[in-house]
Amino acid sequence: MDLEELKKKKMQEYLSQTQSPEAMAMEQMAQAQQELKKITSRILTTEAMQRINNIRHVKPDFALQVELYIVQLYQAGQIKPPLNDSQLKSIINPLVKKQEWKIRRK
């Protein structure tokens, strides 16, 4: 090893040790989301994945909730892959809480 390679290696070790807890948490969260996407892509058809991506653009938290729910159902053996778009809709519908707005006029 020459001196430059040794310096780079030491610098990388130092940077990895001094990372803030927030940065480490963000990195772990990104890895978990990537793993979740990998699992859901095996369970869902392309149309169903597109629907979840559309939901993610509007409501990212709800899309994450749906993905986690689908993975839980798959692990419990309650659904069989591949899950198509209409089956995904039937799973999503009970999760959607529709609010009724009542307008009172005085």
Integer CA distances (angstroms), 82 to 12, 52, 72, 79, in order = 42, 15, 15, 9
pLDDT at 42 (0 to 100) = 92
Q: For residue 21, how far is the Cα from the chain centroid?
A: 21
CATH code of residue 79: 1.10.8.140
For 81, the domain range is 39-91
In terms of pLDDT, which residue wins out, 82 or 18? 82
Examine residue 51 and state whether it is found in any structural domain, yes or no: yes
Examine residue 71 and state whether it is found in any structural domain, yes or no: yes
Q: Is this model's pTM higher than 0.85 or not?
A: no
Distance from C-alpha of 102 to C-alpha of 38, rounded to nearest angstrom: 42
Examine residue 6 and state whether it is found in any structural domain, yes or no: no
Examine residue 56 and state whether it is found in any structural domain, yes or no: yes
Examine residue 66 and state whether it is found in any structural domain, yes or no: yes
Contact 52, 83 (CB under 8 A): no
Examine residue 59 and state whether it is found in any structural domain, yes or no: yes
* DSSP structural state of residue 8: H
Total tally of structural domains belonging to the chain: 1
- Name 16's Cβ contacts closer than 8 Å, sequence gap at least 6: none
Examine residue 70 and state whether it is found in any structural domain, yes or no: yes
pLDDT-derived band at 84, boundaries 50, 70, 90:
very high
CB neighbourhood size of 67 (10 A): 21
Examine residue 55 and state whether it is found in any structural domain, yes or no: yes
